[in-house]
Amino acid sequence: MSETITGGCQCGQVRYAITGPLHNPHICHCRMCQKAFGNYFAALVGTSRENFRWSRRKPGVFRSSSIVSRYFCATCGTPLAFAYDESKNIAVAIGSLDNPAAVQPAQQYGIEAMLPAFASLHTLPGTRTEDDIKPEDLAKLKSLQHPDHD
């Protein structure tokens, strides 16, 4: 049996556990993934439904089309998963994993909706969070986000 992979939403109401292999790590630019993630694209990785379980509360569900359900935290709004009704697999949002750095996308889907700025995002100048927050604000800052573990 492989190691359990865990993840969940920002507030911690919804958590999940995966006890089998991950497959097909990808990013999807389709307009539905853009909308569901509020973002340029969604980063997703698949696993078998039989190796997947919601381990705390159940997520909210939105059927974005007649063949797909999308799962999210109804309390904090984090997008969590995507599944075709007739598929044995479910795909989870890579950013919702406790260790997102462990999964590297290998494919792009939905490129008909790719936004023009996408290919140059990585060229934008970057700063670290602590460099953008005033010292007095940093002193006040207390995270209310669920930690990256059960």
Partner 1 sequence: MCEDGDSNFELAIGTFDEPSKVGPLIEQVGVESRVSWFRDMHLLPEQTTDETRTPQDLAKLNSLQHPDHDTDHWP
Q: Which positions ≥6 away from 102 have C-beta within 8 Å?
A: none
Contact between 11 and partner 1 (CB under 8 A)?
no
Give the full edge-to-edge strand order of the sheet including 5-8. 5-8, 15-18, 52-54
Please name every residue paired with 93 in a beta bridge, in sequence order, or none if there are none.
44
Residue where the block lists tokens 């700063």: 127
Q: Which is nearer to partner 1, 1 or 147 (CB)?
A: 147
Contact between 149 and partner 1 (CB under 8 A)?
no
d(CA 27, CA 40): 10
Q: Which of 125, 135, 143, 147 binds partner 1 (CB under 8 A)?
A: 125
Contact between 128 and partner 1 (CB under 8 A)?
yes
Contact between 99 and partner 1 (CB under 8 A)?
no
Cβ proximity of 14 and 80 under 8 Å = yes
Q: Which is nearer to partner 1, 3 or 130 (CB)?
A: 130
Contact between 145 and partner 1 (CB under 8 A)?
no
Q: Which of 3, 132, 143, 149 binds partner 1 (CB under 8 A)?
A: 132
Of 2, 101, 108, 15, give the one whose Cα is nearest residue 51. 2
Q: How far is the CB of 120 from partner 1 (least distance, A)?
A: 8
Cβ proximity of 93 and 44 under 8 Å = yes
Contact between 138 and partner 1 (CB under 8 A)?
no
- The residues binding partner 1 (CB under 8 A) are 26-27, 30-32, 34-35, 37-40, 62-67, 84, 94, 100-101, 104-113, 115-122, 124-130, 132
